[in-house]
């Protein structure tokens, strides 16, 4: 299940389709529009997280569309244009664009810029996460799709690992003893299952932490249990 929705606005179908291929590889759902008017229509009907906007388009160009969007929304907008002159770049940024990419572009550079803007918008910006998402900095757990992302990359957890992480993330900052974790997750009385819980916690750390030996999210409180750092 996709975590982010991105709208690609360009009057050239080949460019829209090429960008879609690269974004889909990053588990990003793509919506497409041929001009600014269509872009505004999609924006009104879909929950979008970012827009890639070409400047030169018929009916409504990217500058006018961006200006219209900025009247009510703070969604990230990356301008896309064949023009490399500074005046076009400055104009785009002045009306509210967050970034600017010149055609022809390196697809992987565009993807990197998209992911950077999404990260800033969803973790540091004004985006309000849906009620089924729990955020702890770069760690995101979706209670509906049962998915976990770390810095925009999906992490595959077993059902038991997911239940442990969900329990801790729903109670950020609270320390759970090994006995509490076992009885809440396994739904049975605790019977010397310390090693069972420890093994699962270690596997979760290996998947969500950059350095499991120096965990950023899942912390041990010696002699007590585990917690997710706020």
Q: Rounded distance, CA 166 to CA 228, Å?
A: 10
Domains and CATH numbers, the chain: 4-124 (3.40.50.2300), 133-228 (1.10.10.10)
What is the model's pLDDT at position 136?
84
Most confident range (mean pLDDT) of 83-87, 190-194, 216-220 is: 216-220
Query: Which of these, 226, 182, 224, lies nearest to 208 by C-alpha position?
Result: 226
pLDDT tier at 113 (50, 70, 90 boundaries)? very high
pLDDT tier at 91 (50, 70, 90 boundaries)? confident
Q: Whole-number mean pLDDT of the chain?
A: 88
More confident residue, 194 or 61: 61
Q: Are strands 99-102 and 133-136 parallel, antiparallel or unpaired?
A: unpaired
pLDDT tier at 143 (50, 70, 90 boundaries)? confident
Q: Rounded distance, CA 213 to CA 175, Å?
A: 19
What is the model's pLDDT at position 200?
95
The pTM assigned to this predicted structure is 0.58
Hey, CA dihedral for 158, 159, 161, 162, is it positive or negative? positive
**b vs e for 48-80, b when ≥16 Cβ sit within 10 Å of the residue's Cβ?**
bbbbbbbbebeebbbbbbbebbeeeeebbbbbb
3-state class of 17 per DSSP?
helix
Write the DSSP symbol of residue 215.
-
Residue pointed to by tokens 């009907």: 45
Rg, C-alpha atoms of the chain: 22
Contact 78, 114 (CB under 8 A): yes
Q: What is the pLDDT of residues 43-68, one digit of tens each?
A: 988 889 999 999 989 999 999 999 99
Contact 10, 39 (CB under 8 A): no
């Amino acid at each position: 299940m996709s975590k982010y929705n991105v709208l690609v606005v360009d009057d050239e179908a080949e460019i829209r389709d090429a960008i879609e291929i690269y974004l889909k590889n990053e588990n990003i759902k793509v919506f497409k529009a041929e001009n600014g008017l269509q872009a505004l229509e999609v924006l009104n009907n879909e929950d979008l997280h970012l827009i890639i906007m070409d400047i030169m388009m018929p009916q409504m160009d990217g500058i006018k569309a961006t200006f219209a969007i900025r009247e009510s929304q703070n969604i990230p907008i990356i301008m896309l244009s064949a023009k490399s002159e500074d005046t076009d770049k400055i104009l785009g940024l002045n009306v509210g664009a967050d970034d600017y990419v010149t055609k022809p572009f390196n697809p992987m550079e565009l993807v990197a810029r998209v992911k950077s803007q999404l990260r800033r918008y969803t973790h540091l910006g004004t985006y309000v996460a849906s009620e089924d998402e729990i955020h702890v900095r770069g760690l995101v757990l979706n209670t509906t799709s049962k998915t976990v992302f770390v810095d925009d990359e999906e992490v595959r957890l077993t059902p038991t690992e997911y239940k442990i992480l969900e329990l801790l993330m729903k109670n950020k900052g609270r320390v759970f003893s090994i006995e509490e974790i076992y009885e809440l997750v396994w739904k049975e009385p605790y019977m010397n299952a310390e090693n069972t819980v420890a093994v699962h916690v270690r596997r979760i750390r290996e998947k969500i932490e950059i350095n499991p030996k120096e965990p950023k999210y899942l912390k041990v409180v010696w002699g007590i249990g585990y917690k997710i750092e706020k």
